[in-house]
Amino acid sequence: MTTASVSAEVISVGTELLLGEILNTNAQFLAQELARLGIPHYYQTTVGDNVLRLQKAVAIACERSRLLIFTGGLGPTPDDLTTETLADFFEVPLIERSDVLEDIAQKFARRGRQMSPSNRKQALIPQGAEVLPNPVGTAPGIIWQPRPGLTILTFPGVPSEMQAMWQQTAVPFLESQGWGQEIIYSRTLRFWGIGESVLAEKVAAFLKLENPTVAPYAGKGEVRLRVSAKATSEAEALNLIHPVAQQLRDLAGIDYYGEDEDTLAVAVGTLLKAKQQTLAVAESCTGGGLGQLLTAVSGSSAYFWGGVISYDNHVKINLLGVNADDLTQQGAVSDIVAQQMAIGVRERLGTTWSLSITGVAGPDGGTATKPVGLVYIGLAGPGAGQVESFRYEFGDRGREMVRWLSTCNALDRLRRRLLSRS
């Protein structure tokens, strides 16, 4: 069987997933693994602990996918229904496996605990299925081909158990069946300061490519383009990706700032380090968030010297030298105060550059003239009188989002200034 004839579907079982009580990290892990193996993956389904709904999900999945991967529902309690529902759907009996029962009993004994009678349920395997061993927990999975062209793998919902079983048994099995002969490899290009629709229009021709493919998506203020290629090796995939990625970077220009796990703080740090320049920050509404982003980068001490959290006006006046009259007349959230904060922290710490942030993060504190989400960013640099401020109106999008957008836009302003001086 070739990978081209196979598509996979992940079916996550558990009412707790539908209630949002547990984050479905299993689906994310399996999606990444299927991409690594080059197995097409078009659907994910989440279904609660209900026999009829689970059977309906199985019926739909069998019509559109050749590889069904189940997580959850393999425990000893009455609401763990995956194995018995699958057996009932395909009309085969459940067989108690003595070797599985012995394995479960030994695991309980090693932990100094008595096996509950309900755990015998975990030793029931559909007739014709193979056991997918669980080296960590008590719930084994199954490897089953109940009809030609259909393969079923089941895993417990506990992530550590599922991942161990996947790596140790499932991957070798899939590869032995002819799957995993190709990989799907992706690079993500990251952009700030441009909207998703604007970027999509710029790169519209690339969105029609088939290999590699290009797909835009947005989140938390940035836009990303994922460039994915199917190939027999990572090197071959990169050869397909590189020319397309370069053309995309060229089209986006200065709005492009990095790729994959890069952050704006990484981009700024790289530029500062290359120029042997330094940075200080003065923060009000972000309360140290900007400094946190900068110091999250290993080696940032080479260019980031520190900052002042000037939450109270007395700190702005006494430590940063902000003019008291300007604070009274213009208010703390103003362009003049942002500029003076930037000048003050740069002079006191003796750095090449400085950034400042002052704003109304909310949910309280907004007025008709200075609403929640109003933020001023100050930027001071080398040269007499080189200071500027930027006004943003982020709206009432929640306190943490306003703070996040403030820190990222501050970094982006400095990034653009550093590039313009290159």
pLDDT per residue over 300-350, tens digit each?
999 999 999 999 999 999 999 999 999 999 999 999 999 999 999 999 999
Six token digits for residue 384: 């007499």
Detail the DSSP E strand segments found in 315-386: 353-359, 374-380
51-64 vs 82-89: helix crossing angle, rounded to 10: 60
Are 67 and 205 contained in the same domain? Answer: no
Are 243 and 269 contained in the same domain? Answer: no
Are 156 and 77 contained in the same domain? Answer: yes
Are 309 and 348 contained in the same domain? Answer: yes
Max Cα-Cα span within the chain: 84
Q: If phi over 0 gives left and psi between -120 and 50 gives alpha, with beta otherwise, what is residue 321?
A: left
Cβ atoms of 244 and 319 within 8 Å: the answer is no
Summarize pLDDT for 237-254 with one digit per residue, the tens. 999 999 999 999 999 999
Summarize pLDDT for 262-304 with one digit per residue, the tens. 999 999 999 999 999 999 999 999 999 999 999 999 999 999 9
Cβ atoms of 28 and 71 within 8 Å: the answer is no
For the chain, what is the domain count?
Answer: 3
pTM of the model: 0.80
For the cut 90, the answer to whether the pLDDT of residue 112 exceeds it is no
Instruction: Kindly report the number of other CB atoms within 10 A of residue 328's CB atom.
Output: 9
pLDDT at 1: 39
Domain end among 154, 176, 198: 176
Are 247 and 197 contained in the same domain? Answer: yes
pLDDT at 4: 38
Q: Can you give the three-state secondary structure of 99-147, one letter per residue?
A: HHHHHHHHHHHHCCCCCCHHHHHHHEEECCCEEECCCCCCCCEEEEEEE
pLDDT at 422: 61
d(CA 244, CA 383): 40
Are 188 and 221 contained in the same domain? Answer: yes
Cβ atoms of 182 and 247 within 8 Å: the answer is no
Six token digits for residue 396: 């009432």
Are 232 and 209 contained in the same domain? Answer: yes
Are 218 and 367 contained in the same domain? Answer: no
Query: What's 137's domain CATH number?
Result: 3.40.980.10
- pLDDT range class, residue 382, cuts 50, 70, 90: very high
Lowest mean pLDDT among 68-77, 79-88, 107-116, 277-286: 107-116
Are 75 and 121 contained in the same domain? Answer: yes
Query: What's 278's domain CATH number?
Result: 3.90.950.20
Which 3 state secondary structure label does DSSP give 95? strand
Mean pLDDT of the chain: 94
334 secondary structure, DSSP code: S
Domain ranges, residue 239: 183-259
Looking at residues 22-27, what average pLDDT do you find? Answer: 95
Domain end among 176, 193, 211: 176
Are 255 and 268 contained in the same domain? Answer: no
Which 3 state secondary structure label does DSSP give 3? helix
Detail the DSSP E strand segments found in 2-123: 8-13, 41-47, 67-71, 94-96
Instruction: Tell me the CA distances in angstroms from 99 to 88, 108, 109, 164, 377, one per residue in order.
Output: 23, 15, 15, 20, 67
Are 246 and 280 contained in the same domain? Answer: no
- 210 closest CA partner among 234, 184, 189, 191: 184
Cis ω before 212 (30° cut-off from 0): yes
- 336 closest CA partner among 319, 354, 322: 322
Domain end among 126, 153, 176: 176
Six token digits for residue 153: 């793998």
Query: What's 250's domain CATH number?
Result: 3.30.70.2860
For the cut 60, the answer to whether the pLDDT of residue 5 exceeds it is no
- pLDDT range class, residue 384, cuts 50, 70, 90: low
Summarize pLDDT for 158-217 with one digit per residue, the tens. 999 999 999 999 999 999 988 878 888 999 999 999 999 999 999 999 999 999 999 999
Instruction: Kindly report the number of other CB atoms within 10 A of residue 160's CB atom.
Output: 10
d(CA 403, CA 401): 5
Cβ atoms of 162 and 29 within 8 Å: the answer is yes
Cβ atoms of 375 and 359 within 8 Å: the answer is yes
pLDDT at 151: 97
Helix (H) or strand (E) holding 225, with range, is strand 222-231
Which 3 state secondary structure label does DSSP give 348? helix
Are 100 and 87 contained in the same domain? Answer: yes
Write the CB contacts of 102 (distance below 8 Å, at least 6 apart in sequence).
none
